[in-house]
């Protein structure tokens, strides 16, 4: 079909995953591939797994070059998307994988981020009520964060249905290391990570505002944990029930019955992050805690796919009038 | 000093860890070393890391042979301790690493375990108020479970001090695979575990009654997660505050100021399970969630040491009149 | 195009990987899906990552049902392929992923395997000289083993070109655990594997005969190692040079210049098994040892893809007159 | 006994391991603890597992402060030991964990290292013939490298006994990531390492000269591999036999019969790096390759213990007149 997409920030993990997914997409070709510290380097030096693009070279993040495509993915560090987006002409569609345009409320923005609030774009989670249509109609879309995606898919239908109390939500979520990016930080060294778990930014993570906005939660306790695996998020969401806790599972089943990428598992089976590896899939299971009566929902995604690049591509498909599922694996790579 | 200890069930992971720790103990010698499926096998075939005992052979779990020691460790499968213990003469001290004698309430027992309630022994967590003295005075002690230890150390002082609401506690805790033992189960195969997280027995784990008894919690939501590492537990305990949430950290610091094995970390540092590997150490950090105001306490242990064999040895030291810390490493093996 | 393939032994790791690849194949549909211990179970219970087939059920390995397809993949335990293949009518094409039909020499068979020699089918390694044509013309093909594939691609061109001495080859190759299958063996438990390396069947592995046959080596020292990762093989092949050792790299480059799945890396880059995850790709690099002058070739594959299911599908494409690369990922899933 | 040892470079992995081992040593106390980038930092911030030293602070690497101890360990980056050692007075004993003083031959030095050859100290491998006495008599000792230790223990007795041909040795050895230190390099990030193997410096590693010197090998092909585990080295050493290959195993058994730290395993058991974790132990097994007739010896160590800090402490014990095994664990921490 001759549609072209360009990727700004393609030397990072989310950018590399975009390239991988685009390589298997039946209707898209890759245009500009930009990277900051990697300008001039071969893709194969930075992403040795991307055999098909091994000889391409990263160029500078030049808005004019990016704008030659039908759609631009921005996979840039926090705070850099706004400046690039501002220089892209109106006719060019944009999906931003960063946080710059996710929040509607400037006060919420100011509570968690530094710098001015850049603005608000439609939120790129197609499975939310109205999400799909809003994305399809948009020129610019803000892709959700990986934690926010995994938690929102588990929780939003329950709050919307009045089954879960939005004033008492507790979330503990563990992520693989690719969620932290490629920064050279001591705690991300393999020697430190392998064989161990560690919480971080406990009770103060910058994605809290986004999760509250997307789920409707009014009080959210959030503890993120770094897990010894390259990819994957497992979220454990517990909420105080309003009315019949046992209704929660049916609410989730109804919400996702026709969704291609979100699956409520049969009873007795729990989400395994390994089952989502490389796939744009979210697996969900729910139960009622025997002792406390709280609703417990667990959900699993691949943070780089449904949590980042896959979801961005799902949005791009909608924005470009392509089949929503084009180029997006549903089956994970396991074991 | 010529004291001898025997180990029933020494072919399992907890039993092997007991042997490792005893090998470095200045006052103890190993007596009978028994194992069921492994009778006749060399220790070196089952535990290739136990070089010093490589040529010893496992014998059958014979109470008479076990009773030749000053103290017997029972590291047997669930439900087997009671029968063996009943055959040990009154003068022989016993530390049971299983669940048989942990619960005081037969009703609570019946809710989570099959079979009759065997009875109640003093609970082997020296750091609980009065725990140390009760253990020192006991002939028989029930060693706590690994999850229960890690969660109780994080939570019990807060409930006792009236800072945390016992009616609203949510715990998510992830464990390394050795906590599941050596059973040949498909979900414990390396291919399935590596690179992935999976919850299990969500909202219905059999240790809930023990945790409630030990912490004083009246309502407990508990989600256990299997993590891709051989050892370690990271517990995230959140509780609704009663009064000043900010007082929680000081309560924990006061509770453990003089404890050799439980350490509240300086602010800004979070527990890393890797730092406890091989050590009888529990690391704790606490904060107040910015959004929800809940108290969040995270704690880390090595499930086989402070969560099993190390704690059992700590109890044995008390029961035998030895220094409580003898033979127990405080520093972990890292990275 | 209406072509159908059936998979015998689909409950194993290689069988599951066949299903995953077929799900992304543009010209193939899945017919019978059989499994032995799993008859009647849902695919989703055995392979939770295969979302698209989650509700299908494994049937018994019935030759009549298998034979309704255009091609049958046999992913059966060692020694079971011959019996099933004998019952498949002549018109049905077959690719066997097991060892039964790989060896031409019954004496070599007898040296490494028990049971009678079932016969010899064309060897399913398309990149060998003449391999592609022989496979395309065959009704039945014997898919190579994972070690054999990885080692042969590194070594065969050098022996064929007279650059490497076939009488002095030393190979050490490490494999992820999925290569050992799903058998419930103690040394495959996650607790035993994570964080550790262990050699096995040193100097006596049953694939030696196959590797010698495929490479032309006359003397082969082979040490396999079990590595703490679910997938991937890294082979280190060293050979005494005949003539100019420095010519080795050019020989490999020439051999694979037009191959879609085998890539000699640019100098300075070494094969990383992670870069092949989920892809039908073999990465190769070669150098001359500074001290000894030996040729050292290292090669990396995903043992379940180029080492098993992907290669079988590559053969099937050739046998069915489809594009050889159809449905076969080239880019790995990383990090 | 009042002996004090100081550690220069204590903020690195080998330095941290020295502190861990010294904490369990019955006769030694820690003196100065120096670190370069970490001067002023608490030990607990850099090594969270070293609970007992958590509140100590790293000081600058000042020779005068170091010299107040009975013995100084130098765990410094390559090339920095010589300058510090030159400023330590003659009466202070020194064990260097770096490469500066290992090589006897300045030409060999120049072939693998930059900078002038600093000199030659006795080689700190007590298990070599004469090694123990030379170390005990020395004021300054050069601790062997981790690869060199693991390979030399497997090979040196065979060459000395005339059983292995020194002109045809091929070694492939895989190491955990702590062997690469704490440098912030992209290929050492957890996301890159977990789940994957990668060779590096193939056929050109700087330890080749040291291994040849220590083993007597005249031609050595050496391929190092980075493995997804924090600790451990597994070396596969193959050599062409001279005379009866089958004699190799007995030669090794005789060489190490009375050694406390080097163990030739019973036949049928292979070295598992996990069994050496945290221990000053080397496990060895040997066989004759069925096809090639080559001798294959595999050996496993913990690279930070017998490969670095443990061996340095073993040397220090000899130099200080202490029992050679004091403070050195023999049993590993497993699983």
How do residues B272-316 score in pLDDT, each as one tens digit?
999 999 999 999 999 999 999 999 999 999 999 999 999 999 999
* Ramachandran category for residue C232: left, alpha or beta (phi over 0 → left; psi -120 to 50 → alpha): left
Residues sharing a CB contact under 8 Å with residue B259, sequence separation 6 or more, in sequence order = B127
Q: Are A120 and A96 a contacting pair, CB within 8 Å?
A: no
Question: Across all residues in chain C, what is the average pLDDT?
Answer: 96
- Average pLDDT (A32-50) is 95
Interface mutation vs chain D, best among A35, A191, A199, A304, most D CBs within 10 Å: A191
C47 Cβ under 8 Å from any chain A Cβ: yes
B332 Cβ under 8 Å from any chain D Cβ: yes
Query: Among residues of chain D, what percentage have pLDDT more than 90?
Result: 95
* Beta carbons of A230 and D191 less than 8 Å apart: yes
**Angle between helical axes of C208-215 and C146-160 (0-180°, round to 10):** 30
* Beta carbons of C198 and D287 less than 8 Å apart: no
Count of alpha carbons within 13 angstroms of residue C297, beta-carbon side: 34
Residue A144 pLDDT exceeds 70: yes
B292 Cβ under 8 Å from any chain A Cβ: yes
pLDDT of amino acid D285 = 98
Of A208, A227, A294, Cβ closest to residue B227: A227
Residue among B110, B209, B124, B218 nearest B164 (CA): B218
Residue among D174, D182, D171 nearest D210 (CA): D171
Give the Cα separation of A69 and C172 in Å (integer). 48
Question: Across all residues in chain A, what is the average pLDDT?
Answer: 96
The helix (H) or strand (E) run that includes residue D288 is strand D282-288
Residue C2 pLDDT exceeds 90: no
Least confident of A46-50, A113-117, C167-171, D289-293: A113-117
Residue B202 pLDDT exceeds 80: yes
Long-range contacts of B53-59 (CB under 8 A, 24+ apart): B53/B19, B53/B23, B53/D331, B54/D263, B56/B30, B57/B33, B58/B10, B58/B11, B58/B33, B58/B34, B59/B32, B59/B33, B59/B34, B59/B35
- Planar angle of CA B320, B323, B324, nearest 5 degrees: 85
Residue B226 pLDDT exceeds 80: yes
For residue A49, the chain D residues in CB contact (below 8 A) are none
Pairing of β A295-301 and β A233-241: antiparallel
User: Tell me: the pLDDT tens digits for C297-335?
Assistant: 999 999 999 999 999 999 999 999 999 999 999 999 999
pLDDT of amino acid B78 = 85
User: Catalytic pick from C5, C146, C234, C235?
Assistant: C146
For residue D272, the chain B residues in CB contact (below 8 A) are 48
- Average pLDDT (D47-70) is 97
Work out the minimum CA distance from B224 to partner chain C, whole angstroms.
18
Residue among C272, C277, C274 nearest C304 (CA): C277
Give the Cα separation of C306 and C282 in Å (integer). 7
> Which of residues 198 through 227 in chain A touch B, CB cutoff 8 A?
198-200, 202-204, 208, 212, 219-223, 225, 227
C188 Cβ under 8 Å from any chain B Cβ: yes
pLDDT of amino acid A1 = 53
* Beta carbons of A335 and C194 less than 8 Å apart: no
A285 Cβ under 8 Å from any chain D Cβ: no
Residue D192 pLDDT exceeds 70: yes
Q: How far apart are the first and last CA of chain A?
A: 35
A300 Cβ under 8 Å from any chain B Cβ: yes
- Average pLDDT (D144-173) is 98
pLDDT of amino acid B1 = 53
* Beta carbons of D178 and B281 less than 8 Å apart: no
Burial class (CB in 10 A: 0-12, 13-18, 19+), A129: exposed
Residue D62 pLDDT exceeds 90: yes
* Beta carbons of D296 and C227 less than 8 Å apart: no
pLDDT of amino acid B187 = 96
* Ramachandran category for residue D2: left, alpha or beta (phi over 0 → left; psi -120 to 50 → alpha): left
* Beta carbons of A51 and C330 less than 8 Å apart: yes
In Å, what is the CA distance from C78 to each residue of C81, C84, C202? 7, 12, 20
Chain C residue at shortest CA distance from B184: C184
pLDDT of amino acid A36 = 81
Interface mutation vs chain D, best among C110, C195, C304, most D CBs within 10 Å: C195
D40 Cβ under 8 Å from any chain A Cβ: no
pLDDT of amino acid B219 = 97
pLDDT of amino acid C209 = 96
Give the Cα separation of D20 and D246 in Å (integer). 41
Residue D1 pLDDT exceeds 80: no
Sign of CA dihedral C50, B228, C233, B186: negative
The DSSP letter of residue B150 is H
User: Tell me: the pLDDT tens digits for A206-222?
Assistant: 899 999 999 999 999 99
Pairing of β C220-226 and β D295-301: unpaired
User: Tell me: the pLDDT tens digits for D253-287?
Assistant: 999 999 999 999 999 999 999 999 999 999 999 99
* Beta carbons of D190 and A13 less than 8 Å apart: no
Question: Across all residues in chain D, what is the average pLDDT?
Answer: 96
User: Catalytic pick from A142, A146, A173, A209?
Assistant: A146
D63 Cβ under 8 Å from any chain A Cβ: no
The sheet that has A93-96: what strands, in order across it? A28-34, A3-8, A71-74, A93-96, A140-142
Phi, psi of A26 (to 5 degrees): -75, -15
For residue B297, the chain A residues in CB contact (below 8 A) are none
> pTM of the full predicted structure?
0.97
Query: Among residues of chain C, what percentage have pLDDT more than 70?
Result: 100
B275 Cβ under 8 Å from any chain D Cβ: yes
C333 Cβ under 8 Å from any chain D Cβ: no
* Beta carbons of A177 and D189 less than 8 Å apart: yes
Sign of CA dihedral A125, A129, A133, A139: negative
- Average pLDDT (D91-107) is 96
For residue A203, the chain B residues in CB contact (below 8 A) are 287-292, 294, 296
For residue C195, the chain D residues in CB contact (below 8 A) are 176, 229-232, 274, 277
pLDDT of amino acid A145 = 97
Interface mutation vs chain C, best among B49, B194, B199, most C CBs within 10 Å: B194
Of C23, C269, C330, Cβ closest to residue A48: C269
* Beta carbons of B333 and D47 less than 8 Å apart: no
- Average pLDDT (B85-111) is 95
Give the Cα separation of D123 and B3 in Å (integer). 41
C192 Cβ under 8 Å from any chain B Cβ: yes
Least confident of B216-220, D204-208, D324-328: D204-208
Residue A291 pLDDT exceeds 60: yes
pLDDT of amino acid C78 = 85
Confidence at C202, pLDDT banded by 50, 70, 90: very high
- Average pLDDT (B66-93) is 95
pLDDT of amino acid C234 = 98
D41 Cβ under 8 Å from any chain A Cβ: no
pLDDT of amino acid B312 = 98
For residue B278, the chain C residues in CB contact (below 8 A) are none
Burial class (CB in 10 A: 0-12, 13-18, 19+), A302: buried
What pairs with residue A174 in β-bridges?
Answer: A225, A234
Confidence at B123, pLDDT banded by 50, 70, 90: very high
Phi, psi of C160 (to 5 degrees): -60, -35
- Average pLDDT (B53-78) is 96
Give the Cα separation of C135 and B281 in Å (integer). 61
Phi, psi of D185 (to 5 degrees): -115, 140
């Amino acid at each position: 079909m001759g549609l072209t997409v360009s990727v700004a920030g393609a030397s990072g993990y989310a950018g590399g995953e975009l390239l991988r997914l685009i390589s298997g997409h039946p209707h898209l070709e890759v245009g500009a591939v930009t990277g900051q510290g990697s300008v001039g380097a071969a893709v194969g030096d930075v992403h040795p797994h991307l055999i098909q693009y091994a000889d391409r070279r990263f160029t500078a993040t030049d808005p004019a070059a990016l704008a030659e495509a039908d759609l631009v993915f921005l996979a840039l560090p926090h705070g850099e998307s706004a400046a690039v987006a501002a220089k892209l002409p109106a006719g060019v569609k944009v999906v931003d994988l960063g946080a710059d345009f996710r929040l509607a409320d400037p006060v919420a923005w100011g509570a968690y981020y530094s710098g001015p609030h850049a603005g608000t774009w439609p939120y790129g989670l197609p499975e939310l009520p109205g999400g799909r249509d809003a994305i399809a109609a948009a020129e610019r879309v803000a892709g959700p964060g990986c934690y926010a995606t995994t938690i929102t898919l588990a929780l939003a239908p329950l709050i919307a249905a009045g089954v879960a109390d939005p004033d008492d939500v507790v979330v503990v979520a563990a992520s693989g290391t690719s969620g932290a990016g490629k920064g050279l930080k001591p705690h991300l060294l393999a020697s430190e990570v392998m064989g161990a778990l560690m919480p971080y930014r406990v009770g103060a993570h910058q994605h809290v505002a986004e999760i509250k906005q997307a789920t409707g939660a009014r009080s959210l306790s959030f503890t993120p944990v770094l897990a010894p695996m390259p990819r994957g998020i497992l979220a454990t969401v517990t909420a105080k029930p309003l009315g019949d806790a046992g209704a929660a599972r049916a609410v989730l089943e109804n919400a996702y019955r026709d969704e291609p990428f979100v699956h409520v598992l049969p009873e007795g089976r729990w989400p395994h992050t390994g089952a989502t590896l490389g796939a744009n899939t979210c697996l969900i299971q729910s139960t009622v805690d025997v002792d406390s009566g709280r609703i417990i929902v667990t959900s699993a995604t691949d943070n780089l796919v449904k949590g980042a690049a896959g979801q961005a591509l799902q949005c791009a498909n909608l924005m470009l009038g392509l089949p929503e599922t084009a180029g997006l694996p549903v089956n994970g790579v396991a074991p």
